[in-house]
Structure 1
Amino acid sequence: MAATEQFQDFVPVDEWPTVATMLEGFGDQTLPASTALAGTTVSLHAEDGREFRFVFHDGSSLAWTTAGTGADQEVDASYKAIEARNGIFIIDIIHGENRAMQHTTIVFNRNTGVATIAVSRFVDEDGRTRAATEFIHAKTESAAGGLHQRSSGLVGKRIYYRYSDVESYEHIYLNPGTFVWHCIRGGEKGLADVERSMVFDIDQDLFLFFWTEKVMTVEAVLLVDLREQRSIGRMFGWDDSTDAPVVLPFNSRLSVLNTTGYPQDHNKH
C-alpha cells in the first residue's frame, strides 16, 4: 500500500464531503443496455400476494402494473436492462420527480423465473430526507427455482472495487448484515464506515448486495459477480446541498484481495 494511503488519518464526519462530491469520480455506467427483454411480458407473483406485470415495449420503455394491494397502480416509464450473465438481468426503472421519485431495481433470472424487486423511495427521518428500500421476492407461474434467499457467501471477503480511473473502494464483509467500506482513491479518500447490508444468492458466485449508509443519505443495490470480477448497480439518495435526488448508475472491476476464516477453536469457551 502506498504511503499516502497507509498514513491517511481518521476524518471526522463534519469534514466529510457532500453526496454530490462523493459521486463525482464514479464516471458513467459503461456496460451496454440489453434489448433482450424488448417485446416480452414478465408477470411475477410475490410472497405477499402482490402481482407485478412488466410489459417491455422496446429496449428502453415499459408499462408496469401492480395488483393485489388494494392500491393498484400502473406506471409508464423508461428502463435500462443489463444482462449480467446469460439470462440474468439487472433492470433499473426511475419514475416521479423530486421527493416523489422512486428508483426500482429488478434482478430477474429468466432461466429460473425468479426475481427480487428492490423499490427505493424517499422518506423523512428526523427531519432529513433519505432513501428507504423495500425488497420484494417474486417468481413467474412456471418458475423452476425457489425465491432468492439471504446469503453468507461474501462473509470474510475483502474486495477491491475500481469504479473509475480515479475512484476505488474496498469492502470487508463482516457478517451477513454488516460490512465496512473504505475509500482508497476519490472524493471520499480516507473515509470509512460500518454499514447495514443484505446479501442474496442469485447464482453461483453471483450476489445481490444492498447497503444503506448512516452519514450519506444514499442506498445502493447491485450485483456482485465474483466469476466475472465486476459489480453492476446503482446508488439512490438525497443531496441536502442541492436539495435534489441523487441517482448514480455504476459498474466496477473487482478483485478479491483475501478471504478470512476464523481459527478452528473460535467456538470454544
Structure 2
Amino acid sequence: MPELTLSDTSTWLPLDGLAPGFDANKAPTVGDLHDRSYELTCADGTTFGASFTGTRIEWRYHGSGTDRCETFLVDDELYYVQFHPRAHQEEAFTLLLDLRQGRALLVLSRIGDTSPRVTQTFLPATIAGLEARGEPLAPSTSLVGRRVLWVYSTAHAYEHVYLSPHWYTWQCLAGPEKGLADTDENSVYELRPGIYVFTWREKVIPCASVTVADHRDARNLRSHGVLFGLDSTGKTPTHFTFGAHGRLLSTTVHPETFDPAR
C-alpha cells in the first residue's frame, strides 16, 4: 500500500484497510426478534417481508433469500437490523424497526457504475398489525450546524460537521486515516426525538454508510452502523458493522437569512 499523502487521494486507505479494529466499540447483538415475522408496506407501494430465526433473516423484497443478519437494540422496542445478501453481493440492506410506533425505515445500499459508486434508497414504511403512530418518517434537518466527535475504538476517532441537508464534512483525528478530511453527501431521517438515521456516500473511496445515532444526551452519544463498498481491488464488495461513542463539540446557529437548513 502506498504511503499516505493527504492531498493524493490515490494513496488513501481502501475500505478493507480500515476494518481491523474499527469495530471495537460495536454494541452486542440481541436475539429479541427470534421467531418473529414482520410485513412492511413501503411508501412507494412495495412490500418487504422479514422472518427471524436466531441470527438469520428470511427476507422478501424484489426476490427473496435467507441470510445472516445482525440485530442491535437502539432504544425500547427500536431495532437496527443489517444484512448483506449472499446472492446479491452488490446490495446491502438496513432495516430500522420501531415496534412501539408501528413504523420502519428500509435503506437499500447498492454498488453501481455511478458517482458516488454506492447509492442509497430510503423507503419509509408501516408495519402490518401495528398501529402507526406519529408522523411518517421523513428527511430531517435537525443535525445541521452540529459538530460531533465519534470514537470507534482506542485507535479510531473522527469528527463530523453537519453542514446542510445534503453535505457533511468528516476529519480523522486518530487512526490510520489521521489528517484526512473530505466533504461528502449525507441523508438524515429522524426515527424518534433525538434518534437519527445518518447516512453518507463517499466520492473518493467507493463506499457508503448507514448509522443510527442517539443524540439525546449531548455528552454521551451512541451510534451503530455499517460500512459497505468495494475493497482495494475495486471489485470485491466489503461489508462490516461497527459502533461508536460520541459527544457534541459545538453547535453553529446561522442567521435565519443564511440558514443552510432552510
Residue 240 of structure 1: CA displacement?
A: 3.4
Q: Which residue of 1 aligns with 2:127?
A: 140
CA contact 1:34–1:59 (8 Å) conserved in 2: no
Residue 86 of structure 1: CA displacement?
A: 0.7
CA contact 1:234–1:248 (8 Å) conserved in 2: yes
CA gap of 1:100–1:15, structure 2 versus 1, over 3 A, is closer
Q: Which residue of 2 aligns with 1:3?
A: none
CA contact 1:168–1:183 (8 Å) conserved in 2: yes
Q: Does 1:45 align with 2:41?
A: yes
Q: Which amino acid aligns with 1:18?
A: P
String of CA shifts for 1:177-209, please: whole Å, max 9, x gaps. 110000011111100001110000111111000
Q: Which residue of 1 aligns with 2:75?
A: 85
Residue 150 of structure 1: CA displacement?
A: 0.7
CA gap of 1:80–1:29, structure 2 versus 1, over 3 A, is farther
Q: Which residue of 2 aligns with 1:55?
A: 51
String of CA shifts for 1:105-124, please: whole Å, max 9, x gaps. 11111101111111122212
CA contact 1:24–1:187 (8 Å) conserved in 2: no
Residue in structure 2 matching 1:13, options 9, 12, 16: 9
Q: Does 1:122 align with 2:111?
A: yes
String of CA shifts for 1:210-268, please: whole Å, max 9, x gaps. 1000001010000111125111110100013374221120000001001111246758x
Q: CA RMSD in A?
A: 2.2
CA distance in 2, matches of 1:265, 1:101: 42
String of CA shifts for 1:136-170, please: whole Å, max 9, x gaps. 11112432233211111111100000000000000
CA contact 2:227–2:240 (8 Å) conserved in 1: yes
CA distance in 2, matches of 1:140, 1:20: 35
CA gap of 1:12–1:96, structure 2 versus 1, over 3 A, is same
Q: Which residue of 2 aligns with 1:163?
A: 152
Task: State the TM-score, normalizing by the size of structure 1.
Answer: 0.86
Of residues 11-20 and 135-144 in structure 1, the stretch that sits farther from structure 2 once superposed is 11-20
Q: Does 1:232 align with 2:224?
A: yes
CA contact 1:115–1:147 (8 Å) conserved in 2: no
CA contact 1:94–1:102 (8 Å) conserved in 2: yes
How many residue pairs align between the two structures? 250
Unaligned runs of 5+ in 2: none
Residue in structure 2 matching 1:247, options 225, 239, 242: 239
CA distance in 2, matches of 1:88, 1:105: 13
Task: State the TM-score, normalizing by the size of structure 2.
Answer: 0.88
Q: Which amino acid aligns with 1:52?
A: F
Residue 18 of structure 1: CA displacement?
A: 2.5
Q: Which residue of 2 aligns with 1:64?
A: 59
Q: Which residue of 2 aligns with 1:4?
A: none
CA gap of 1:82–1:265, structure 2 versus 1, over 3 A, is closer
Q: Which amino acid aligns with 1:102?
A: E
CA distance in 2, matches of 1:264, 1:91: 38
- Rg larger in 1 or in 2? 1
String of CA shifts for 1:4-61, please: whole Å, max 9, x gaps. xxxxx953323322222233341346311111111111111011111111111x2311
Q: Which residue of 1 aligns with 2:100?
A: 111
String of CA shifts for 1:46-81, please: whole Å, max 9, x gaps. 11111111111x231121123xxxxx4221112111
CA distance in 1, matches of 2:197, 2:230: 23
